[in-house]
């Protein structure tokens, strides 16, 4: 068995900010590695809704190409401040202390990362924020092998809509035995 690769330095710093803030809800490493990989394929502007302390942002930052920028919004002012400090010297990352809806006027984005548990992440709300060929990544799903997908004994309509909307080609990817993400590319 090979040793686990080290985390990118910016991701380690983001984990430190999270620990100092006592914030334990953040992007998993498995999802983060996927984000970094996808970010490396993008140009222009990437966005994130729900920065937290910046762990997901750090993963995106670890993968972006030259000339690419990240705009991220966190509605909790204390968490946003920690992420702003983390990226204060990085001109390629802008952290806003604001609700995600403030990013509506700044798109479209080539990649958009958001928490599948966030309010307002329905396809109709998000679709026009992503450029044609752009990618939406939603995390924090529990893997489901049946159709329609179920969560807590009910049809998971959010997941169902993202995987069947005609504006996107989507797939659910299991990143760990207990966690999956939806990756959807706009047609």
Element of type H or E holding 158: helix 157-164
User: Between 180 and 152, where is the model more confident?
Assistant: 180
Q: Which of 29, 15, 138 is nearest to 83 (CA)?
A: 15
Kindly state the percentage of the chain with pLDDT values over 90. 78
The class (CATH top level) of 9-186 is alpha beta
Band (5; pLDDT cuts 50, 70, 90): low
**Domain regions of the chain by residue span:** 9-186
Average pLDDT over residues 166-170: 98
């Amino acid at each position: 068995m090979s040793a686990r690769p080290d985390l990118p330095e910016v991701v380690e710093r983001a984990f430190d900010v999270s620990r100092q803030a006592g914030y334990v809800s953040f992007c998993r490493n498995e999802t983060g590695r996927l984000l970094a990989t996808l970010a490396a394929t993008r140009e222009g502007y990437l966005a994130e809704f729900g920065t937290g302390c910046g762990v997901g942002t750090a993963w995106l930052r670890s993968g972006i190409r030259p000339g690419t920028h990240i705009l991220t919004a966190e509605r909790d002012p204390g968490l946003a401040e920690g992420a702003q400090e983390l990226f204060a010297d990085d001109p390629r990352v802008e952290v806003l202390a604001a609700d995600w809806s403030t990013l509506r006027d700044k798109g479209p984005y080539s990649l958009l990362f958001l928490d599948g548990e966030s309010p307002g992440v329905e396809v109709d709300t998000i679709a026009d924020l992503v450029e044609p060929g752009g990618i939406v990544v939603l995390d924090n799903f529990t893997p489901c092998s049946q159709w329609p997908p179920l969560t807590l004994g009910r049809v998971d309509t959010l997941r169902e809509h993202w995987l069947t909307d005609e504006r996107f080609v989507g797939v659910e990817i299991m990143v760990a035995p207990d966690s999956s993400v939806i990756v959807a590319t706009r047609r």
